[in-house]
Amino acid sequence: MHDHGHSHGHGHSHAPPAVPRKRLLQAMLISMVITVAQVIGGIISGSLALISDAMHTVTDSLALVISFFALKLGDRKSTMSFTFGLKRAEIMAAVLNSGILIGISVWLLYEAAVRFIHPEQVQPGIMAGVAAIGLIANIVNTILLQKGAKENLNMRAAYLHVISDAFVSVGVILGGIAIMIWENAVWIDPLLTVIISLWLIRASWSIVWKASKVLMMAAPDEPGLEEVSAAIMKHEGVVNIHHAHLWALNEQNVHFEAHVEVTGDLKVSDTMPLLDRIEKALHEHFGINHVTLQLECGRCEENGLVREHDAE
């Protein structure tokens, strides 16, 4: 067991800035209604592209739902059982939702392949009309979410989902118009389905990969471990940084812990100001809002930045 020296000054707010939750709920309801309308419209018109657009709108709804409940769960205080609170619920939900969407996209690709072999007639008027309603709804949602997207990373992801869906709706509208002009061009519908499905798989996989890295406690892309170590080494009295760990609890909370070797003549009374200075620097320069440092002098034989066989 190691005793960890906690620096004072944990008055930094760990919560993201206030986000307009009412707007988030309104956008969520709009996305859900449009999803149902697109699925019904896709079945009536026979348009696979419209159904695949609906699946893309599902990603909007899920992103908004995750954002909303992440904010709610983030308000929960830490308990004896969940000492970090429930901040990773949004990450777990993102993996689950994205995995389901990848499965749906693969099914849509199969259905599109069948349509290429056995073309089916679609009703382009309904196809374009329902997609136009979806486009209007997405424009409304972008206006609703614009403010929150500037203040919160989680909201920004939901905002980008809605914007991308607006472009998909434009593609389906143009596809419907093209089929109206060239009646025999029914191949446009499965082609649009393939494009949208591949886009969905790519977007969903990037979410799965990013979320999985968080769950596997990987160091965030920025700041890097060496960069953080170099910032600590600048402080007077610090000799070496070793056995360091840098990980993201979720998108907003980055944690750092390490053993910090100090000079032998450093007084115990001087260690608290040193810890305060280090924590303040890490928070201001890198946004790291939870720092745990163990001060020592000539205690660890292995002094590499990362411990190769860490059993701790």
The 10s digit of each residue's pLDDT in 278-295 is: 999 888 888 888 898 888
User: Domains in the chain, ordered, with CATH?
Assistant: 21-215 (1.20.1510.10), 219-296 (3.30.70.1350)
Residue 18 reports pLDDT greater than 60: no
Give residue 206's pLDDT band: very low, low, confident or very high (50, 70, 90).
Answer: confident
Structure tokens at 97: 């939702």
Residue with tokens 């003549």: 265
Structure tokens at 299: 């205690």
Give residue 159's pLDDT band: very low, low, confident or very high (50, 70, 90).
Answer: confident
Residue 86 reports pLDDT greater than 70: yes
Least confidently predicted of 27-36, 41-50, 163-172, 301-310:
301-310
Q: Quote the pLDDT of residue 17.
A: 45
Q: What is the model's pTM?
A: 0.68
For residue 208, the SS3 value is helix
- pLDDT exceeding 70 applies to what percent of the chain? 86
Give residue 257's pLDDT band: very low, low, confident or very high (50, 70, 90).
Answer: very high
Residue 256 reports pLDDT greater than 70: yes
How many residues are present in the chain?
Answer: 312
Question: Which CA distances in Å does 48 have to 126, 186, 193, 215, 303?
Answer: 12, 11, 6, 35, 59
Residue 3 reports pLDDT greater than 70: no
Give residue 153's pLDDT band: very low, low, confident or very high (50, 70, 90).
Answer: low
Report which DSSP code applies to 56. H
